[in-house]
Structure 1
């Protein structure tokens, strides 16, 4: 199994990340991990910190001469602003006068929608600084770095990911928009909101600009697609071994994420059963699905098709037009502290979601196929696929139900293949 953990505060010295359980022999290049950290800063509507935070990266352990060696992989990411915060965030005691002015002024007006107030209640803090520093989405930089390593491992097995923005507020992709493929990553990253459709992208950008002018923030939805997965990752035998359960938990653990959908998700709840699932057909010796509504997961296991998961991000709770709160130091009504923030971080949240999906899938691969080296994992994967009986073999290509001949029932099939987003 893989285990990972992160440490560090938003304005502390650095972020730390450890990933244990990776097989040896995976090629890892520092610039590839750095590139994913740069992708995390993308998106129209980001705040000032993205412009100067360098995310200076160090691989501290677990890699030798460009390859993993089987020991825990350690990553350090320096916080560029640390020199300005050495006293406020000092591990050692400092003079009381530090907390009378400027950055050290106690944050006693908790922001609604953040961890501020509940964090103070839970840990006994008299101000919000200790809670918000760790609760900050700055921590996701460490997860993106680990996810870049997990994606490299998956790529060596023919498994590739791509993410894109589906909606920004009320502006959404058309329902018949094409799904992006891994070859679209560079094109998506070049788009201001990481949207596959230029017309929709322009409308999203305009909406962000409107929200910025009004002093507000904006949420939205992103989608991660994974290509090349084998069938059978995950399991149906326990709730915590179901792959959809594991993915949902990991994605809901991203700051500000409030919903997760697999496949057609909530849309499937509006359809009758005859048009909500993916019928199977035998064609040319292999079993084919006529659609991909389930999102590549059935019974908590991968089907071998395209895995699709969506995450819904709420509007950022640090609103320029400050929300009403209570000053816990005086007990009086007040307006919330306004820490520097983005208008929206939805495009970047897709990159973070990619990382979490990759980590969960890498863990599922290690669980299923084992192996202490990359070559051993590759061998075990090939052996597994080779030993699936001919009668059970599937093909990830979709089949048009209207062209299938033979002994089949006449259950309504819904739309034809030509109308599916492939």
Structure 2
């Protein structure tokens, strides 16, 4: 399985092409649009979410509600494109038109891709960078992840996400199943399962907005009923936890990844870190705890995958930081683009999508996956094998 995304933040549409999904998987646009709608929600979102109503159009690879095994093309329209047709159009413009429509940006924003991207590709207009490095691109990554989640769901694998922390406000730990996490987090405007912390998080977001600032946080993804043995201990590049870590780090503004106890392991003795192994006739092998987040040796243990991602504050501020004009080399306040004061609740949905994709990909690599019915049978046989091993 693999996918490629294309599109700019204010271009006509965002596109993704997905390859490698089994044939015969039940799939409808509603399976995708549910997750696109979740991504657009969240306390602290900016005006862009009032403009867009993201809906995926399935252009290929699905017929009469079932995947064909051929590449699937999805497109999501950018409604804001109507206001940007001259600025972002593909056709060449004259010198006179350039002054009128280009809105050239020469002041890179600290913390964004603007300056480095301009240096890499030789752009003298930072808009050529920021249009693609925008988090708007994650729209179609969530769409691709929705396909992965549909595959996992039909294999009996449950996926959920929630917000652990925003702006220093930390939610209380609660022993909940993935389905309970999903249910509770969807009731919260900040996607937090702790009602008291939710209100404190909203207050922190309000304060940041009032200050013209932004705040970040920590999100967590939980995936239950994953078959044991996905990934590999044989080669470094086949370890599934490393692939998931890379996927999480690929999300805009994410700067850290943890599994299970994560960095707390550095401050604990081994007896309080490793998960003791037990066996029962009913469950087969399982662990007394899940401090390692469902991984040992780069492979799944059969316990829930628990991965956290750290999102930095969004770099676009309404109280701009100092920057340097790349044309004049003079100091200026960085340019302001429309932005959110906090996008952590939405980022949780993106993290859920990319983690689900890596797990679904690993399953399709390990088992017979040309046809979904064969894949489901192979996974069921593997579960029976690991239980009685």
How does the TM-score come out when normalised to structure 2?
0.97
SS at match of 2:267: coil
For residue 4 of structure 1, report the CA deviation from its aligned partner.
0.7
Q: Is the 8 A contact 1:180 1:196 kept in 2?
A: no
- Residue 355 of structure 2: aligned partner: 357
1:17 is matched with 16
Q: Considering only CA atoms, is the larger Rg found in Structure 1 or Structure 2?
A: 1
Deviations 1:100-159 (A, max 9, x none): 25x622100000111100111110011101111111100000000011111001111111
> Partners in 1 of 2:45 and 2:79 — Cα distance?
17
Q: Which runs of 4+ in 1 moved over 6 A?
A: none
Does 2:195 correspond to 1:223? no
Structure 2 match to 1:89: 88
Q: Secondary structure at the match of 2:79?
A: coil
- Pair 1:62 & 2:61 matched: yes
Residue 342 of structure 1 and its aligned partner are, at CA, apart by: 0.1
- Alignment partner of 1:310 is 2:308: yes
The question of whether the paired residues in 2 share the 8 Å contact of 1:326 and 1:333 is answered with yes
SS of corresponding position for 1:75:
strand
**Which residue matches 2:253?**
256
CA shift in 2, pair 1:350/1:385, >3 Å: same
Residue of structure 2 equivalent to 1:398: none
Aligned residues: 388
CA shift digits 1:9-59 (9 cap, x unpaired): 111111110110000111111122111101001111000001111223210
- Counterpart secondary structure, 1:352: helix
- Structure 1 position 6, deviation (Å): 0.3
Question: What is aligned with 2:127?
Answer: 129
Contact preservation (8 Å) 1:87, 1:98: no
Structure 2 equivalent of residue 35 of structure 1? 34
Partner of 2:105: 107
SS at 2:200's partner residue? helix
Q: SS state of the match for residue 192, structure 2? A: coil
Residues 9-408 of structure 1 correspond to what in structure 2 (within 5 A)?
9-101=8-100, 104-174=102-172, 176-284=173-281, 286-388=284-386, 390=388, 392=389
* Aligned-residue offset at 1:94: 1.4
Secondary structure of the 2:356 match is helix
Structure 1 residue ranges without an equivalent (≥5): 393-422
Rounded to whole Å, the distance in 1 between the matches of 2:311 and 2:8 is 22
Q: CA deviation at 1:316?
A: 0.2
Could you tell me how far 1:180 is from its partner in structure 2?
A: 4.9
| In 2, Cα distance between equivalents of 1:386 and 1:281 | 17
Q: Which moved more, 1:84-93 or 1:308-317?
A: 84-93
1:315 and 1:97 mapped to 2: Cα distance? Answer: 39
User: Alpha carbons of 1:250 and 1:138: their partners in 2 closer, same or farther (altered >3 Å)?
Assistant: same
Question: Aligned with 2:155: secondary structure?
Answer: coil
Measured at CA, do residues 378 and 308 of structure 1 come closer, stay the same or move farther in structure 2, by a change above 3 Å? Answer: same
- Distance (whole Å) between structure 2 residues aligned to residue 324 and residue 152 of structure 1: 45
CA distance in 2, matches of 1:160, 1:386: 19
Separation in 2, partners of 1:385, 1:216: 49
How far apart in 2 are the matches of 1:214 and 1:281?
Answer: 52
* TM-score, scaled to structure 1: 0.89
Aligned CA RMSD, in angstroms, stands at 1.4
Q: Is the 8 A contact 2:285 2:387 kept in 1?
A: no
Range that drifts further, 343-352 or 47-56? 47-56
Give the CA deviation at 1:329. Answer: 1.6
Following superposition, the deviation at residue 389 of structure 1 comes to 6.9
| Residues 87 and 103 in structure 2, CA contact (< 8 A), matched pair in contact too | no
Structure 2: give runs of 5+ residues left out of the alignment: none
